[in-house]
Amino acid sequence: MSKPTDLVQGTLDLLLLRIVAIEPLHGWAIAQRLKQVSGDVLQVSEGSLYPALHKLEQQAWIKAQWRPSETGRQAKFYSLTRAGRKHLDKELANWNRLSRAIDLVVREA
Amino acid sequence: MRWLASIRQRLRATFRAAIVEDEVALELLFHVHRQIEENVAAGMTPEQARLAAMQSIGNLARLRQECRDVRRMNLVDDVRQDVRYAIRSLTRNPHFSAVAILTLALGIGANTTIFSVINAVLLRPLPLPGADRLVTIVENRPASEPFDGRPARRPPMPDEIRVLQTQVRSLDALYLYGGAPDIRPAGREDGPAMLGARMPGPAMFSLGARPVLGRLPDADEAGAVVLSTNAWRRYFNEDRNLIGKTLSAHVGNVQSMQTIQVYTIVGVLAPGFAFPDGRVDYWLSGAGPLNVARLGERVSIAAAAEEVSAVLHGLIGRSKVPELALQGPPRFELVPLQEQLVARMRPVLQLFGLVVAVVLLIACANVANLLLARSTTRTREIAVRASLGASRGRLIRQTLTEAVLLAGIGGVIGTFLAFGGIRLLRVLFGAFAAPAASFAIRQIAADSGPGAFPRIAEITLDLTTFVYTGGVCLTAGLLFGLAPALRQTSDLSLSALRDGAAGAVSGFTLFRRNTLRSTLVIAQISLAMTLLVAGGLLLNSLFQLLTVSKGFDPSNVLTFQVRHARERQSVRELRAFAEQLVAQLKATPGVVNVAYAHDMPLIGPAQSTPLLLTAGERIPDLEQPGKSNIYSPALRLVSRDFFSVTGSRLMTGRGFSADGTLPRTMVINQKLARARFPGEDPIGRYVYLGRSEVAGNPWQIVGIVEDMRQHGLDLDPEPQMFVDFATWPGVRQAFDEPNYYAVRSSGTPRLLIPEIRGAVQRVAPGATVDQALTLDEIVSSSVVRPRTYAVLFSVLAGIGLILATIGVYGVMTYAVAQSTRELGVRLALGAQRREILTFVLCRAGILVGVGIATGLMGALAATRYLQGMLFGLSPIDPFTFGASALLFVATAMLASYVPARRAMRTDPIVALRYE
């Protein structure tokens, strides 16, 4: 699986933000957490994950810090910035609205 | 501050690329290792685990590339794309671009020009080795006076310096330097003089002088001269056998005391040595009255000043000059050499720096307005781009790129304009100075002549200037680009996409829909108005200065001095020579009259003598400093025809009698008559002059002459009395000798110089004519500063006026175009064309009126800072204010008239079809 074609365009950012909002995580753990929380439904490849993380960092929604991982090796941990938290709230609201709308259409039509 | 963090990230990715790359590599490596561990934990063999992990992550290099792209490459790409887009959009609107670029070029060119002066004079270190550690010791009396670079401050006496040289440890070296006499090499007696400076040989070495031929003078060697490369070339044709040859110099300004000294040329210096000034042709070994010191390594200027001050205060008790004690103890200070040289230029250059900044602001307002006007027509385009996915930030950046590009092109053209500006400045600063008048070190601090503008020859466009210009372009671009950028991206909704040209259907208004534009124009007008008033004041002041009653008529008068071949001629011989020369010259065709005097108007120091009304009158001991001394007026010894030659009018009484048969007569000036003889007629009065050889006998006042401005056109005339040389009994002092000659001619006075040379040669073979200057040139040289400042300021104010006029024109044209439909409707409904014209002009009048009113108020507040530069004029001179306002109204209304006419000519049919 290369690109998560089943993910709605732009949703990966939302998922990543949501995951690092709980606690700072490194890239590998983010991928694991995504898989785990979605019950193995959503999987993201490294080829999409890392560019997406770097883009979010570049946009200053998330920030990174090098520190020892659970295995003792140095890893890059991502966490939300204050602006990122606001952004996440906004995106979540948008998502809720959109998904409700889609839900309605799908059920009514 | 998310965008700040974001920019920091981008910058880091661009400029710390290696570190960022390493981080990406490490991060991905960690991922692989973690996956291997996970795989092993799930039961794979290490080899299987590694393969699986590698397979999962795929092409590592490509992944790294993708991560890099996200961070860095799109910045560069975006910029390239923005620039390409900006160029396209600028070439699509050539008129807009041309006006904007030209406006900016004027503003930036003015800034670059003035900055190049500031850079050369104030910022760039002196071209001497270790120039930042060179200082000079000055003495401030009274102690509270701050150092301002004027020459009035007394430098320490030579004996004090000698003590300093031995006792002060914080100075590595301390040298005395000064001026040296002008020298005309043999065979070139009529040509320009070589200008000299005097300092010890070791001082020359320490300040960077290196011989290319011969050697430097030794420490105590007397009469040794080294030449500049330039002088070697100009005066001696690069003669390599010059070493050991001699030069003779006439030393002393007073002829009866003048000696001829012979100096030996010991070397020629490599080019580049320019101490104390780039104009020096030769350096003579010896000491002078000025000092230069080199601070020791790691010694602060304050610490050194403290030590010097302590030593000098210890010496003060031994001072033999009582009048200095009156002002209390002085304050000694160490001043950087550069500061001493340029301190007087600083406030002026700061003023001009401010003025060009204002001009640039006006230019920026202009371009902002143009961009705003255009942004309305681009609403649709912007809306399309936004709906295709461009973010607001991206659109703002696009507009800013366009603005900075405009500023950049303007900057390049402005730099070319600056080359012209610098040429103009050189002419202004240089050409008005008297042609190579006598050079003395004191002229470095003089108010007129070549010393008026220190370091002006060093003005160039160098790297610092280019960096500055670049900075100005960037700042200007952001400044005038920001408002339009924010404005035109404020409404990215679909409605904008639908009716993109909505602006074109509104009514004529300058304030409701065009508030920002109108405010900008008003700001422009008021800034330009303030500049115009200030420039007008300086011009008016210069006019007052040039038309002030001088007390003499400078046209068609040539003044000169005579340099005699023999030294120490007696006063009697000199007077006999003067009489013979006058007789010779009077017979020359083209000569109207000839006179000689001890000094000329605007040249020469005052020599004062007590004037007693009765033989035993007591004179008050001290007078208020600064007041002209009516008890000891200036005594001027002149020849009979002096007033006729200078064109000074006798107010009452008569001049000196032609045959000298009436001895002991004197002429006084009006000032003295009013001050010493209030309410009475001094004609016929007998007075006594307080000099020993003449004190016993009375002098009769026979005439009153108009007041001559002796020390400067801006200085009030002093009380003066005039006595005919022929009746003056004293022949002992230098003061008693003729020093200057003046010839009134019927034609161009300079054409007489060969005749005068001939006459001087005939009367005294070997004597030469020196310092031949017309009175006009002397007057011109005395106003070099006010003239330079007035011209420069007026040019800048003129640029401001032009830019503001373009601004008015632009906004009016835009408002008319915007309301074509409304005007059409009005015309169709029967409005008279004249009414339309009046309507539009009235609106423009309100705009211009508000701007001018604020500008005048600004000028009222600002011009008082010009007070010191104004002569015979109050800083709120109503005439200047009124005339400047009128000029502005006229130009601005002319600029509005063109669009108003276009409004008047609107064809109703076309206008209604306009949509």
**Complex ipTM:** 0.89
Q: What is the pLDDT of residue B299?
A: 87
Q: What is the mean pLDDT of residues A68-79?
A: 89
pLDDT at B515 over 90: no
**DSSP 8-state secondary structure symbol assigned to residue B346:** H
Yes or no, beta carbons of A46 and B2 under 8 Å apart = no
B109 touches B390 (CB < 8 A): no
Closest CA to B500 of B593, B380, B598, B623: B380
Q: Bridge partners of B265? A: B225
Gap from B88 CA to chain A (nearest CA, Å): 29
**Of B486-490, B602-606, B854-858, where does mean pLDDT reach its minimum?**
B602-606
pTM score over 0.95: no
Residues of A in contact with B35 (CB under 8 A): 28
B201 touches B221 (CB < 8 A): yes
Cis peptide bond prior to B181, omega within 30° of 0: no
Closest CA to B428 of B456, B393, B463: B456
The total number of residues shown for chain A amounts to 109
Residue B248's SS3 state is strand
Residue B907's SS3 state is coil
Give the model confidence (pLDDT) of B213-226 as tens digits. Answer: 989 998 888 889 99
Higher-confidence residue of B448 and B156: namely B156
Closest CA to B56 of B36, B26, B83, B85: B36
Per cent of chain A over pLDDT 90 is 20
HEC string for B886-901: HHHHHHHHHHHHHHHH
B171 touches B295 (CB < 8 A): yes
Shortest CA distance from B59: residue in chain A: A47
Please name the residue that has the structure tokens 């300040």. Answer: B207
Q: Helices B820-828 & B833-862, crossing angle to 10 degrees?
A: 140
B261 touches B249 (CB < 8 A): yes
Interface check B56 vs A, CB under 8 A: yes
Q: In angstroms, rounded to a whole number, what is the distance separating the alpha carbons of residues B98 and B110?
A: 18
B2 touches A47 (CB < 8 A): no
Q: In angstroms, rounded to a whole number, what is the distance separating the alpha carbons of residues B726 and B730?
A: 10
Residues of B in contact with A61 (CB under 8 A): 2
**Which of A46, A58, A69 is the closest to B9 by Cβ?**
A58
Q: What is the pLDDT of residue B74?
A: 59
pLDDT at B319 over 80: no
Q: In angstroms, rounded to a whole number, what is the distance separating the alpha carbons of residues B109 and B423?
A: 13
Please name the residue that has the structure tokens 């406006």. Answer: B103
Yes or no, beta carbons of B27 and A57 under 8 Å apart = no
- CA angle B488/B489/B491 to nearest 5° reads 95
Give B269's pLDDT tier (boundaries 50, 70, 90): very high
pLDDT at B730 over 90: no
Most A CBs within 10 Å: which of B67, B73, B75, B76, as the mutation test of the A interface? B67
Give the model confidence (pLDDT) of B338-386 as tens digits. Answer: 887 787 788 888 999 999 999 999 999 888 888 887 777 777 777 777 7
Q: What is the pLDDT of residue B173?
A: 87
Tokens of B187: 């065979």
Give the model confidence (pLDDT) of B735-761 as tens digits. Answer: 788 888 999 999 899 899 999 999 999
**Of A86-100, B118-132, B259-273, B723-737, where does mean pLDDT reach its minimum?**
B723-737
Q: In angstroms, rounded to a whole number, what is the distance separating the alpha carbons of residues B887 and B733?
A: 58
Yes or no, beta carbons of B35 and A28 under 8 Å apart = yes
pLDDT at B434 over 50: no
Cβ-count burial B839-870 (b if 16+ within 10 Å, e if not):
bbbebbeebbebbbebbbebbeeebeebeebb
State residue B416 phi and psi, 5-degree precision.
Answer: -65, -40
Q: Regarding beta strands B699-705 and B665-669, do their DSSP bridges make them parallel or antiparallel, or are they unpaired?
A: parallel
Give A4's pLDDT tier (boundaries 50, 70, 90): very low
Closest CA to B178 of B251, B92, B121: B251
Q: What is the mean pLDDT of residues B694-715?
A: 83
Tokens of B502: 């909505």
Yes or no, beta carbons of A28 and B31 under 8 Å apart = yes
Q: What is the pLDDT of residue B438?
A: 38
Yes or no, beta carbons of A51 and B70 under 8 Å apart = yes
Q: What is the pLDDT of residue B504?
A: 44
Q: Bridge partners of B283? A: B197, B226
State residue B52 phi and psi, 5-degree precision.
Answer: -60, -45
Residues of B in contact with A57 (CB under 8 A): 9
pLDDT at B141 over 80: no
Q: What is the pLDDT of residue B397?
A: 83
Give B495's pLDDT tier (boundaries 50, 70, 90): low
Residue B71's SS3 state is helix
Gap from A107 CA to chain B (nearest CA, Å): 30
| CA B89 distance to own-chain centroid | 40
Q: What is the pLDDT of residue B440?
A: 35
Residue B878's SS3 state is helix
State residue B883 phi and psi, 5-degree precision.
Answer: -65, -40
Q: What is the pLDDT of residue A102?
A: 84
Per cent of chain B over pLDDT 70 is 85
Give A9's pLDDT tier (boundaries 50, 70, 90): low
B484 touches B368 (CB < 8 A): yes
Give B151's pLDDT tier (boundaries 50, 70, 90): very low
Which helix or strand (DSSP H or E) is residue B201 part of?
Answer: helix B201-206
pLDDT at A6 over 70: no
Q: Helices B94-118 & B784-818, crossing angle to 10 degrees?
A: 160
Q: What is the mean pLDDT of residues B277-297?
A: 85
**Which of B2, B56, B67 is the closest to A51 by Cβ?**
B67
- Report CA-CA distances (Å) from B633 to B379, B732, B740: 79, 21, 21
pLDDT at B445 over 50: no
- Report CA-CA distances (Å) from B686 to B431, B612, B655, B666, B697: 48, 9, 16, 10, 9
Size of the A and B interface in Cβ pairs below 8 Å:
79
Higher-confidence residue of B491 and B35: namely B35
| CA B501 distance to own-chain centroid | 50
Q: What is the mean pLDDT of residues B129-148?
A: 76
Yes or no, beta carbons of B27 and A75 under 8 Å apart = yes
Tokens of B157: 């006496």
Q: What is the pLDDT of residue B148?
A: 58
pLDDT at B473 over 80: yes
Rounded to whole angstroms, the maximal C-alpha distance in chain B is 138
Q: In angstroms, rounded to a whole number, what is the distance separating the alpha carbons of residues B485 and B473?
A: 17
Q: Helices B74-92 & B2-15, crossing angle to 10 degrees?
A: 110
Q: HSE (CB half, 13 Å, CA atoms) of B267?
A: 21
Tokens of B87: 């160029």
* Average confidence score pLDDT of chain B: 82
B370 touches B96 (CB < 8 A): yes
